[in-house]
Amino acid sequence: MTRPPHSTHQTTTPGYDKLAALMALDPGSSIFRRFAKLNAKNLLYLQAELVYLQTDLDECVQRDHRSSSDEKRAYAFSVWRLQESLDQSEEEYPSQWRKVLEARALLREYNEALLQQAQLLRFSAPDPSDLEVFKEWLLREEASHYQKFRPMYQWHENEPDLIALCSRHEGADSFTRWVYRSVIPWFHRRWGVNDLNRRNHATDVWYYNNRTIKSRTYVASLLVAGFLPASSMIALYFLRNMVARLVTIFVYNMVFVLVMGLMVKARKVDIFATATAFAAVQVAMITNGNGSGN
């Protein structure tokens, strides 16, 4: 998604309706607040409530256990009797089961909040390029209609608290990320801005298909992957000086490692193993006399 020139044409209601249309069109713009502090405080309050409730329940259990009533002492061995105690007057039969039910409800709320917080913490921060485009769109909309999204600055002043529900860069290699951040904006400024078919009038943005971008960067990666080994063999074949051959092997291996790191999502150990194999093939070529020789 790239920010277009200002346009007065509107096909959706300005404000949250238009913002929702933008998020529906471009998942990378699905940026929301985590409310990390507020969620943490809510968990702390629930935890404190449970601590007090657990203390009350323990005292109630001990009180019933020491009671002179056979009925109350039986609570420790019979859940049925505990449940039946609800039918008795609260003055005569203490509220042990009521405390259990209260704790059960509070525990359910606490556990749900705990799991939700754990899930929220797994969300990544929005990609800087996505966030920049999103904030530019917000500022342009606010300037166009002299209105701010209420409450004010819910995105502008809370960057550390923002999360992205979806990112077009998730799982992408460094080369693909660079294409998104640099090549696409450059292409848009030079040529894409004139392609009206890319413009979405509902949101006033120019849309570039993520699948097309990824497929073309993949093809570029394949071409580079094929070019490096082939060109290195050709260079070694025509070089006669052994020092020149060794320097060529060194340079090609450095370039190969850099390309692997930028264009492939691979572990360091995989890059190391592949680079070693690549160097071994080149060394074998010159030692077996496959080149022109001296």
pLDDT at 59: 82
DSSP class of 76: G
Q: Give Cα 234 distance to the centre of its chain.
A: 43
Average pLDDT taken over every residue of the chain: 78
| In a domain? residue 7 | no
pLDDT tens digits, one per residue of 239-259: 888 888 888 888 888 888 888
CA distance 79 to 184: 67
Which of 121, 154, 181 is the C-terminal boundary of a domain? 121
3-state helix, strand, coil in the chain (%, to 5): 70, 5, 30
| In a domain? residue 185 | yes
Who's near 26: CB < 8 A, 6+ residues apart? 1, 205, 207
Residue that is written with structure tokens 């979405």 in the block: 200
Number of domains in the chain: 3
| In a domain? residue 4 | no
| In a domain? residue 3 | no
| In a domain? residue 225 | yes
| In a domain? residue 91 | yes
Instruction: Clarify whether residues 23 and 144 are in a common domain.
Output: yes
CA distances in angstroms from 216 to 189, 228, 246, listed in the order given: 19, 19, 34
- The DSSP code sequence of 174-225 is HHHHHIIIIIHHHHHHHTGGG-GGGEETTTTEE---HHHHHHHHHHHHHHHH
| In a domain? residue 148 | yes
pLDDT tens digits, one per residue of 75-117: 665 565 665 665 565 555 557 778 888 898 999 999 999 999 9
Instruction: Clarify whether residues 129 and 159 are in a common domain.
Output: yes
pLDDT at 4: 44
pLDDT at 293: 44
CA distance 271 to 273: 6
pLDDT at 41: 96
Instruction: Clarify whether residues 114 and 130 are in a common domain.
Output: no
Residue that is written with structure tokens 């209105």 in the block: 147
Tell me which residue range forms the domain holding 70: 36-121
Instruction: Clarify whether residues 144 and 188 are in a common domain.
Output: yes
Which parts of the chain register pLDDT below 50? Answer: 3-10, 290-294
Instruction: Clarify whether residues 100 and 140 are in a common domain.
Output: no
Residue 199, number of CB atoms within 10 A of its CB: 17
Write the single-letter amino acid at 81. Answer: R
Which of 152, 173, 208 is the C-terminal boundary of a domain? 208
Which of 179, 208, 237 is the C-terminal boundary of a domain? 208
Instruction: Enter the tokens of residue 111.
Output: 């556990």
Instruction: Clarify whether residues 147 and 187 are in a common domain.
Output: yes
Who's near 290: CB < 8 A, 6+ residues apart? 236, 237
Residue 28, number of CB atoms within 10 A of its CB: 24
CA distance 49 to 42: 11
Contact between 2 and 168 (Cβ < 8 Å):
no
Instruction: Clarify whether residues 141 and 23 are in a common domain.
Output: yes
Instruction: Clarify whether residues 63 and 105 are in a common domain.
Output: yes
CA distance 117 to 32: 15
Who's near 286: CB < 8 A, 6+ residues apart? 236, 242, 245, 249
CA distances in angstroms from 81 to 89, 211, 247, 265, listed in the order given: 14, 64, 87, 62
Instruction: Clarify whether residues 82 and 198 are in a common domain.
Output: no
CA distance 275 to 121: 37
| In a domain? residue 147 | yes
Instruction: Enter the tokens of residue 290.
Output: 């496959």
DSSP class of 78: -
